[in-house]
């Protein structure tokens, strides 16, 4: 297997694990330990670019917490010790990327819909600390739909105290485009309000995926509206430390979706920086390290 294809290996298992999996992450620039809190593949969004096939049922319906804790502890030790790179799947990892960057809560659905979200974040932080890995980040990859719930807010506060970083999804500037892409009953304004409230308490990373739908990329009017939403957050006192502009890198469930060319990702990234003054990182569908 060639090194430049390793970032496409985001399978939801590693050997016999059911909830924890290692990923060579483009955006983490190292090894990210993924945590799947939604093995039932239930999500409150139905994004057209998602690679999860929700038409088939998963064999695992819920998180068995004790098994998850055992898997997390084992995986942290496996990566930190370097034993991971002795496996066939990760033997080709470049030397500068052989680093444990984070524990990333993501998976096959929205992680903050997990009913004991705050408890599992707390225990995960304790496991990390017990292994002397305080510097390892805890990253929440989220659609921001549940930030208003008290137990989710408590979980975010626990992350704040444990090298936490929130990557909040914002893929649109208007309600119409948001509904086209995310296909959800959750109002767009709720996402904007939740992002704003969370960003007023700690700096957020915004993750934005733009794509072609039926061969057509986002219109300039939509991109301008997207920049307006970012500016609304910062004007309200929200702190946005990085905007990630990226495109499709893995095969989505919907055949109408395809990646933007590198030059279009560049154009959008420059436009966002020029209109917001925020730091922007860009990731291509053909990304190589």
Measured CA to CA, the distance from residue 40 to residue 20 in angstroms comes to 14
Number of domains in the chain: 1
Does any domain span residue 70? Answer: yes
> What is the reported pLDDT for 253?
78
Tokens of 227: 């920049």
> What is the reported pLDDT for 51?
85
- Following DSSP, what letter does each residue of the chain receive, concatenated? --GGGGGG---S-STT-SSEEEEEETTTTEEEEEEES-TT---S---TT----TTS--S--S--HHHHHHHHHHHHHHHHHTGGGGSTTTTT--GGG-SEEEEEEESSS-GGGSTTHHHHHHHHHHHHHHTT-TTSEEEEEE-STTTTSHHHHHHHHHHHTTTEEEEEE---SSHHHHHHHH--SS-HHHHHHHHHHHHTTS-EEEEEE--EETTB---HHHHHHHHHHHHHHHHTT--EEEEEEE---S--SSTTEEPPPHHHHHHHHHHHHHHH---EEEE-TT---
- Reading the chain (289 residues) residue by residue, the pLDDT tens digits are 444 444 444 443 467 888 999 999 867 789 999 999 988 888 999 999 998 865 655 444 567 889 999 999 999 999 999 999 999 899 999 999 999 999 999 888 999 999 899 999 999 999 999 999 999 999 999 999 999 999 999 999 999 999 999 999 999 999 999 999 999 999 999 999 999 999 999 999 999 999 999 999 999 999 999 999 999 999 999 999 999 999 998 888 789 999 999 999 999 999 999 999 999 999 998 654 3
Residue 200: give its domain's CATH number: 3.20.20.70
Tokens of 245: 């502009």
Does any domain span residue 63? Answer: yes
> What is the reported pLDDT for 193?
98
> What is the reported pLDDT for 277?
98
> What is the reported pLDDT for 4?
43
Q: Among 43, 56, 72, 51, which Cα is nearest to 8's?
A: 51
How crowded is residue 115: how many other Cβ atoms within 10 Å of its Cβ? 11
Measured CA to CA, the distance from residue 121 to residue 162 in angstroms comes to 10
- Following DSSP, what letter does each residue of 148-165 receive, concatenated? TSHHHHHHHHHHHTTTEE
Does any domain span residue 288? Answer: no
pTM for the complete prediction?
0.89
Does any domain span residue 257? Answer: yes
Domain boundaries, position 73: 3-283
Does any domain span residue 87? Answer: yes
Measured CA to CA, the distance from residue 247 to residue 282 in angstroms comes to 9
At a CB cut-off of 8 Å and minimum separation 6, what does 221 contact? Answer: none
Does any domain span residue 289? Answer: no
Tokens of 87: 């496996």
């Amino acid at each position: 297997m060639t090194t430049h294809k390793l970032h496409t290996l985001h399978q939801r298992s590693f050997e016999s694990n059911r909830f924890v999996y290692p990923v060579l992450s483009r955006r983490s620039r190292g090894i990210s330990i993924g945590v799947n809190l939604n093995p039932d593949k239930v999500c409150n969004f139905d994004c057209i670019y998602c690679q999860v096939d929700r038409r088939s049922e998963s064999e695992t319906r819920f998180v068995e917490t004790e098994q998850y804790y055992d898997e997390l502890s084992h995986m942290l030790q496996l990566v930190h010790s370097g034993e991971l790179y002795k496996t066939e799947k990760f033997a080709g990892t470049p030397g500068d990327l052989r680093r444990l960057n984070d524990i990333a809560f993501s998976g096959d659905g929205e992680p903050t819909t997990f009913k004991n979200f705050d408890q599992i974040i707390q225990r995960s932080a304790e496991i990390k600390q017990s292994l002397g890995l305080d510097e390892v980040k805890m990253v929440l990859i989220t659609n921001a739909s549940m930030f208003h719930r008290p137990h989710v807010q408590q979980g975010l506060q626990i992350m704040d105290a444990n090298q936490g970083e929130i990557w909040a999804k914002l893929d649109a500037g208007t309600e119409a485009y948001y509904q086209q892409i995310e296909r959800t009953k959750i109002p767009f304004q709720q996402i904007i309000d939740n992002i704003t409230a969370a960003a007023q308490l700690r700096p957020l990373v915004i993750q934005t995926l733009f794509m072609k739908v039926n061969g057509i990329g986002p219109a300039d009017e939509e991109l301008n509206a997207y920049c307006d939403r970012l500016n609304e957050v910062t004007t309200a006192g929200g702190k946005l430390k990085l905007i990630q502009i990226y495109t499709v890198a893995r095969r989505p469930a919907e055949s109408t979706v395809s990646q933007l060319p590198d030059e279009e990702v560049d154009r959008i990234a420059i436009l966002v920086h020029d209109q917001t003054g925020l730091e922007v990182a860009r990731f291509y569908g053909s990304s190589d390290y």
